[in-house]
Structure 1
Amino acid sequence: MSILAVNAGSSSLKFALYPVQGQAVSEAEMTGCIEGLEPAGKPCITWSIRGQAKTIDAVQVGANVDPFDAALPALKQLLVTHFAHVPLQAIAHRVVHGGLLYSAPVRVTPEVLTQLATLNSLAPLHQPHNLAGVRAFSESFPDVVQVACFDTAFHRTLSALETTFAIDRQLTARGVRRFGFHGLSYQFVSQVLQDVSPRSAGRTVMAHLGNGASVCATTEHQSRATTMGFSALDGLMMGSRSGALDPGVLLYLMEQGWDHDAIQKLLYKQSGLLGVSGESADMRTLRASGSPSAQLAIDLFTHRVVREVGALTACVGGLDVLAFTGGIGEHDAVLRQQVCEALHYLGVSVDAARNQAATGDAVRAIHAEGSGVEVWVIPTDEGRVAAREALGLMRGA
């Protein structure tokens, strides 16, 4: 038996097939991504079986057919062709927001989908696409159990001091509070740290840095503080999202005639690295640019990481372990070096050669000998966590 983990976005769908061996989920047998799922897009499947080179297959899309609707049969055929001998036990979906409703994985029903759709406005870049993926897979794989796994669930251990906004308590009672996100990634990194670092049971800060970015502090491998809040906008500057912003800016824009849609577009799609640089939301593109505006965006992103790591370190009373993950965190050695140098006052010392050699291909320690803080680069695997969660749900764990 295997579990298929999927992460459906607006223009792409990541997937991975995890074999089930006994009570555990093994390393992915196949991983891939279907890109080009935007309207009028030209989807293609990039996939690889463990130990083999990647294969890229075009997806044929008929006239007036949604690319997403064409991509799922292609994925199904891929599974039938190469893994017909391994039946699917479940499909595990990453769903960004569980709200107050769900703090653990849940078997998807029409009622569950209806409830989760009420949270669309809290994560407009993710939630609607996550749920569209669940619906589509339910139709294409009607005999397979669909399981929703939530990014917010890892942060259910946050205290009231961390979840409460300083607003009218009646709004708090209605669910206007901080939730936290990137939970599947933090859960995976935390599990890896348990295996490689006994010190990680102490005061650990994990930085998930990518197009979406956040920081999470843990003790005893439980979330104690995090930068994202009610929505996936708060905290760090991101690829095209603003991160923390004085709410007075929004009041000012409203006074200038900006409506809800214009403000939402600004905050989610025209800010962050893209907004500051005016060039790109991709850190690699900005590194290659060399323009003053690109450098300002990079420097601001780095500064915000340093600032938030410092704040979360204060929340847990110090720092024993620092871990980088996510596309930027795993691959941008320059950013890691600069962040660690800025955190030297906390006892962080990084080995430049080890840091340069860490390219996101494996779990690596990059701290220098004698560093007061361990520093790790850990490639994340949200799909494997979702598969584990689905297996546990299926077996009543």
Structure 2
Amino acid sequence: MSWGILAPDTLISLRRQQNLGLASAVRHFNDCSVPGLGGMWFPMPILWSVLAVSIAEELRVPALPVGNAIEALMMRQATEERLADRRVRGIRKMQGLEDWSFKNLKRRGTYVVQPIRMAMVQPLVALGFVRGSRYGAFTIHTAGAQMLNLPVMANYRRILGAWAHGGDPHGLKKMREDLSPNAAVPPEVRKLILARLIGGDDPSTSRRRSLVALGTGPSASQLDAVEPLSGITPDHWTDLRAGAAFMDLRNAALAVLYRLEHRLLELRDANAAAVLSVDEASNLAGEPLAALRQYARQQGDRIDARAEATSRKFLSEVRDLSIPQLLQKLAEREGTVIRWRDGRIGLGPAANEMSASGESEPVKDAEFAPQLFRLYNLHCVATELNGRVNPGCQDSADEEPA
């Protein structure tokens, strides 16, 4: 997801944009595999956002800064205790912060660059909690109103509303503890979210429900089978297999570019011209190029079976172009780390940038195909909504971002 950036301290690594012009296909296969989940892997941010949108409506302001302020407030207890938890943001960013007022927390730059609420846009809409297409313009919808009418949420809404109006209401500290990122979602709220996630009869809900019913999987090896697992429809299985194959094809293409980038950086560090001719690039990346072509031949039928235009066009380029043409096309598609200029391959503006961590994703589990990260995310959120420990929270974060 691309966001406007104005200040140096809000810089998001350009390497995250290294999508080869395939973003629409990535979105397509993610939505086909687990519709409507976005980047959600634990449910508490749904509560924060519903409260934020409700307060934004009352204040008649955009929901985005309100959402940031409320999320930052809920991180306070966790950050003060310096909890090593994948759900916690802002330990470094908010260290030493003394002004925890709504007015201060909603200012740009007070909280982290990539708040968790960014991953909530799709599930908030898909599960019926809000209306709208942009977080800043959200309004409360049916399920959101149901949530706010629950007695426990009505109390949280009252306290937060008073805080947003500049007060320091009684019960604010207890509410922060109740709604901190590592706290348990109130049971009645869990039941409502679970019902919205897997309780309906529309096609998207049916797909989510069938995956939750599996318990685990499908794994990458299970997706090699033509016949679907029990409970998964043939169309859904075709989408899952095509999505996993497409992600692997994209990753194989990126492996070619990584090989070229490594050599170009060596040349640059040696004060030599950091450019490669097509012939030089062909020889240098011969091994990953061969692997890319072989994968396209072996697994291309899985991608073709879905008939998604962007992925099929990319597949045909990998299968049909000559090696020089393919290298040029990959460099043209990339453009941020590697780029094509004047008939040669050189470094792009994001060369040697560190990849941003998958901040919306817990650690993967081998029982779930890693190409489709939403499979494991769905398992994590459904497990927690059923009152058990979220498996994505069992490993502590290696390095807390921002």
TM-score of the pair, normalised by structure 2: 0.26
Is the helix fraction higher in 1 or 2? 2
Of structures 1 and 2, the one with the larger relative CO (CA 8 A, separation 6+) is 2
